């Protein structure tokens, strides 16, 4: 029979347990989080001063970095124990990511960049273009941009395309790092409304990193990374 703890854990989207990360093996200091849990469909605004480890945490959650010890469970799966290949597959199918560098392929069109994300997640291509158009429209980008090479867009436009690419598979988990930094106030508010709408519609769990405290109003949970990090057992950065 399942225990009450098992039942609670089954509803967790993210479950971090004693995670240690070091950028270099001999590094004295380490990134350490003892425990952090997020329920399915929870939205968190993650804040912290520059260099406090927000991007490191997102990279661990996205599987770009792997912990030296401890475990990261995502959607009930032991994500940090997967092989690199299994992690890539899991990411493509369940995670949307928007990093500070947008990682668009510059010589491919906007549509191809978005289609590629859908392809890796095995989404049916038939519906991809219509949904991409809908997303770009809500992000205040013209439909004509779909045919343009991603490398020819402005930084603000690239940022919005990266967001559309992250949302195209309606991911269960969405990790975004400063997604509004290149947007003006009107595009920023439109983006936030779209993001919340899509997260609501798909019960997406969102970890949203930003320095912009104005954006805190869109979130039920606010976390300062300082409160997550602990020095027990290791020396902090
Ligand atoms: N590739 C790397 N190699 C070595 N150290 C790194 C690397 N990336 C980050 N660090 C260090 O890890 C610490 C946390 O950096 P991180 O980028 O996670 O912080 P952050 O809170 O996201 O900062 P910012 O708000 O400026 O983006 C910093 O001391 C940084 O110098």
Between 155-167 and 110-120, two packed helices, what is the crossing angle to 10 degrees? 30
Q: In what order do the strands lie in the sheet with 29-39?
A: 77-78, 69-74, 12-21, 29-39, 235-236
pLDDT at 86: 93
pLDDT at 4: 54
pLDDT at 189: 87
CA of 215 to the centre of ligand 1 (A): 22
* Closest ligand 1 atom to Cα of 178: 27
pLDDT at 233: 38
* Closest ligand 1 atom to Cα of 57: 18
Angle at 166 between CA 158 and CA 216, to 5 degrees: 85
How far, in Å, CA of 34 to CA of 197, rounded?
32
CA of 56 to the centre of ligand 1 (A): 6
Question: Mutation test of ligand 1: which of 20, 21, 23, 45 has the most ligand atoms closer than 8 Å to its C-beta?
Answer: 23
Residue nearest to atom 27 of ligand 1 (CA): 50
CA of 149 to the centre of ligand 1 (A): 31
pLDDT at 234: 42
Question: Mutation test of ligand 1: which of 32, 54, 227 has the most ligand atoms closer than 8 Å to its C-beta?
Answer: 54
pLDDT at 6: 55
Q: Is the ipTM of this complex over 0.90?
A: yes
pLDDT at 235: 40
pLDDT in tens, the chain (237 residues): 555 555 556 689 999 999 999 988 777 778 899 999 999 999 999 999 888 899 999 999 999 999 999 999 999 999 999 999 999 999 988 999 988 777 899 999 999 999 998 888 776 666 888 889 988 888 888 989 999 999 999 988 998 899 899 989 889 999 999 888 888 888 788 888 888 988 888 899 999 999 889 999 999 899 999 888 864 434 433
pLDDT at 19: 95
CA of 21 to the centre of ligand 1 (A): 12
pLDDT at 185: 87
User: Look-up: residue for tokens 């950065």?
Assistant: 237
């Amino acid at each position: 029979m399942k225990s009450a703890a098992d039942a609670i854990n089954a509803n967790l989207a993210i479950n971090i347990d004693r995670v240690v990360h070091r950028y270099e093996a001999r590094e004295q200091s380490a990134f350490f989080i003892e425990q952090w849990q997020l329920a399915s469909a929870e939205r968190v605004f993650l804040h912290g001063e520059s260099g406090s480890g927000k991007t490191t945490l997102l990279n661990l959650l996205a599987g770009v970095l792997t912990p030296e010890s401890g475990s990261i469970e995502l959607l009930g799966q032991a994500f940090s124990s997967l092989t690199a290949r299994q992690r890539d597959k899991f990411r493509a199918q369940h995670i949307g990511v928007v990093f500070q560098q947008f990682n668009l392929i510059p010589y491919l069109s906007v549509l191809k960049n978005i289609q590629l994300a859908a392809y890796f997640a095995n989404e049916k291509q038939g519906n991809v273009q219509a949904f991409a158009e809908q997303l770009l429209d809500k992000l205040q980008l013209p439909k004509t941009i779909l045919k343009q090479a991603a490398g020819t867009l402005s930084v603000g436009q690239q940022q919005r395309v990266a967001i559309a690419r992250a949302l195209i598979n309606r991911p269960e988990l969405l990790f975004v790092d400063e997604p509004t930094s290149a947007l003006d106030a009107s595009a920023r508010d439109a983006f936030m409304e779209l993001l919340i709408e899509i997260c609501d519609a798909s019960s997406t769990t969102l970890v949203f990193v930003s320095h912009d405290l104005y954006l805190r109003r869109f979130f039920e949970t606010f976390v300062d990374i300082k409160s997550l990090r602990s020095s027990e057992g290791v020396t902090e950065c």
